[in-house]
A and B are shown apart, each in its own frame.
Chain A
Amino acid sequence: MLELQNLSFQVSDDADSQKEIIKNIDLTFEDHTFIAITGPNGGGKSTLAKLIMGIEKPTSGKILFNGTDITDLSITERAKLGISFAFQQPVRFKGIKVRDLITLAAGNNINFSSACDYLSKVGLCARDYINRDVDASLSGGELKRIEIATIIARNTPLAVFDEPEAGIDLWSFNNLIKVFEELHSATDNSLIIISHQERILNIADEIVVLAGGSVQARGKRTDILPELLNGTAGCKFYK
């Protein structure tokens, strides 16, 4: 499904020297898996997600999607190949309605009831939201749920979620867990979810621990999660 080969990403820092955000990462993700990527803040998780979507371009290394080298492909081309991306901080638009965004995501002229179904799945009463602008009148939590609804509407072979829990209240969070479980069980699609939340890690098939731009651990959830939850042992991944 997805292969990251010797992937690195550097940025120039103030002193004109290069800072490595992602360091020679090699990872292979199989079809129909639910992978949670976790690790300390600043460890490179969001950058890795953006590299997969093409929002950032790697300094070196390769990304293969279903055997195709997508390293030099644009965001649009990757989206068309079947990768979708949920932003940690969803974007606001003046004059674009929730319905427009979901229609664009679904890629065709969906009818009112299908659009509503996607919103209902993320716990929003469709009637109240479908004709609202995706602008500053929406709260952070509402926006986040709409963002997730667009990913459900896209229904692509690979969906990358960057901290979907950020900004979501407890009630919605319970729903969110159900959404991910359903996405995983009802389709053959793969999910990569960047998260700090134990409850999300707890429903993943595999966990990758990323710290300091490198993979500190990777394995089945049943092997990694107990280590992470055990305070002292968890530290060994974060060193």
Chain B
Amino acid sequence: MDIAMDEIQKNLLEQVAGLHEMPAGAYNIRSNGQSVDRSTTAHIDIVTKEDKQGIDIIIKPGTKKESVHIPVLLSQSGLTEMVYNDFYVGDDCDVTIVAGCGIHNSGDSDSRHDGIHSFFIGKNSHVKYVEKHYGSGDGRGERIMNPETVVELGENSFMELETVQIKGVDSTKRSTTATLSDGAKLIVTEKLMTHGSQTAETAFHVDLNGEGSSANIISRSVARDDSRQLFLSKINGNNRCAGHSECDAIIMDRAKISAIPEITANNLDAELIHEAAIGKIAGEQITKLMTLGLTEEEAEAQIVNGFLK
């Protein structure tokens, strides 16, 4: 690693990007409001925006089996930033994009990262997008993240979107909107755990415009202590298409969870399903694990970890 990073930043980097060292392929590391390191490849270019904070990631048509990492780290208490990252993915690509934000706040001021990620994906491409959020530090200042994801999926393209927020983020409002062309497919997997007095809102808005397009939104969440969660998902079927959303939540302690799924068919051949379930851990699940020798607390942890795995 040729940039100076302290242990806190290294830990954040590992949590949000699974990285111990610089990744192979293209990357851009943003730390405390500045781009601190960057690498491009023959097929993937990264360009700093001139009119606002953020970068353009340009992936040439036909790029296969390459990856882009763009982690964001905030360890300076009180820093607030708004970043625009635009991804231009050409036709016939197969790429993995790993984004994520780690905030360490040990001060008294709020630290906040708002990021808008826009994806313009061409035809016949496969994009896997992984986003992890993590907060640490014991300051009174809050760790706030408001990620917004905008996706335009071209004909016959396939996007897998995985988001994980397990620990330490005090407040999050996540918005994901997607527009799908003919034959395009979107799979979203969201995993979320809130504790303490955290709040998390997550909203999906998917327009299935293309013939034969499909979307599957799967959210699994656990709310503990006094935390609150709101899950909103809207799927509009505007053509012959298939849409499915599923919110499955475990409620614990004094938490509150709302799930508001909405599906609208604007076409006779739109097939749309929504499922939402909120409930506490079944007592019999705890009992079964206790008969295997686990304590009640260990059983609960096993169930929660498995559910969010």
Q: Is B285 in the interface zone, CB < 8 Å from A?
A: yes
Task: State which residues 273-309 of B face A: CB under 8 Å.
Answer: 282, 284-285, 287-296, 302-303, 305-309
Provide the residues of chain B in CB contact with A79, threshold 8 Å: 290-293
The 8 A CB mask of A63-84 against B (1 = contact, 0 = none) is 0000000000011100110001
Q: Is B170 in the interface zone, CB < 8 Å from A?
A: no
Q: Is A55 in the interface zone, CB < 8 Å from B?
A: yes
Chain A CB within 10 A, most for which of B289, B295, B296, B308: B289
- Report Cα–Cα, A84/B288, bound state, in Å: 10
- Report Cα–Cα, A90/B307, bound state, in Å: 18
Which stretch, A100-108, A170-178, A198-206, A224-232, touches the partner chain B?
Answer: A100-108
Provide the residues of chain B in CB contact with A80, threshold 8 Å: 293
Q: Is B182 in the interface zone, CB < 8 Å from A?
A: no
Q: Is A125 in the interface zone, CB < 8 Å from B?
A: no
Chain B CB within 10 A, most for which of A96, A101, A105, A150: A96
Determine which of A90, A95, A97, A154 lies in contact with B292 in the assembled complex, contact meaning CB atoms within 8 Å.
Answer: A154
Determine which of B284, B291, B296, B309 lies in contact with A95 in the assembled complex, contact meaning CB atoms within 8 Å.
Answer: B309
Determine which of B220, B292, B294, B296 lies in contact with A150 in the assembled complex, contact meaning CB atoms within 8 Å.
Answer: B292
Q: Is B94 in the interface zone, CB < 8 Å from A?
A: no
Provide the residues of chain A in CB contact with B293, threshold 8 Å: 76, 79-80, 104, 107
Task: State which residues 31-90 of A face B: CB under 8 Å.
Answer: 53, 55, 74-76, 79-80, 84-85, 87, 90
CB <8 Å contact, A75 and B303: no
Q: Is B131 in the interface zone, CB < 8 Å from A?
A: no
Task: State which residues 127-171 of A face B: CB under 8 Å.
Answer: 150, 154
CB <8 Å contact, B288 and A87: yes
Provide the residues of chain A in CB contact with B282, threshold 8 Å: 91
- Report Cα–Cα, A79/B291, bound state, in Å: 5
Q: Is A239 in the interface zone, CB < 8 Å from B?
A: no
- Range of interface residues on chain A? 20 to 34
Provide the residues of chain A in CB contact with B294, threshold 8 Å: 76, 104
- Report Cα–Cα, A95/B290, bound state, in Å: 17
Provide the residues of chain B in CB contact with A53, threshold 8 Å: 291
Provide the residues of chain A in CB contact with B296, threshold 8 Å: 76
- Report Cα–Cα, A97/B303, bound state, in Å: 11
CB distance from B297 to the nearest CB of A (A): 10
Provide the residues of chain A in CB contact with B309, threshold 8 Å: 95
Provide the residues of chain B in CB contact with A97, threshold 8 Å: 306
- Report Cα–Cα, A117/B295, bound state, in Å: 27
CB <8 Å contact, A91 and B285: yes
Q: Is A112 in the interface zone, CB < 8 Å from B?
A: no
Provide the residues of chain A in CB contact with B308, threshold 8 Å: 95
Task: State which residues 201-246 of B face A: CB under 8 Å.
Answer: 220
- Report Cα–Cα, A85/B287, bound state, in Å: 10
Closest B residue by C-beta to A80 = B293
Provide the residues of chain A in CB contact with B91, threshold 8 Å: none
Q: Is B248 in the interface zone, CB < 8 Å from A?
A: yes
CB <8 Å contact, B302 and A91: no
Task: State which residues 116-160 of B face A: CB under 8 Å.
Answer: none
Provide the residues of chain A in CB contact with B306, threshold 8 Å: 93-97, 100
Provide the residues of chain B in CB contact with A90, threshold 8 Å: 288
Chain A CB within 10 A, most for which of B248, B294, B306: B306
Provide the residues of chain B in CB contact with A154, threshold 8 Å: 292
Closest B residue by C-beta to A91 = B288
CB distance from A227 to the nearest CB of B (A): 33
Provide the residues of chain B in CB contact with A76, threshold 8 Å: 290, 293-296
- Report Cα–Cα, A53/B306, bound state, in Å: 25
- Report Cα–Cα, A80/B292, bound state, in Å: 8
Provide the residues of chain B in CB contact with A101, threshold 8 Å: 292
Task: State which residues 258-273 of B face A: CB under 8 Å.
Answer: none
Q: Can you name 24 A-B pairs with beta carbons within 8 Å?
A: A53-B291, A75-B290, A75-B291, A76-B290, A76-B293, A76-B294, A79-B291, A84-B291, A84-B292, A87-B284, A91-B288, A93-B306, A94-B248, A94-B306, A94-B307, A95-B220, A95-B308, A96-B302, A104-B292, A104-B293, A104-B294, A104-B302, A105-B292, A107-B293
Q: A55-B287, A76-B296 are in contact. List 13 more A-B contacts (CB 8 A).
A: A76-B295, A79-B290, A79-B291, A79-B293, A90-B288, A94-B220, A95-B303, A96-B306, A101-B292, A104-B292, A104-B294, A105-B292, A154-B292
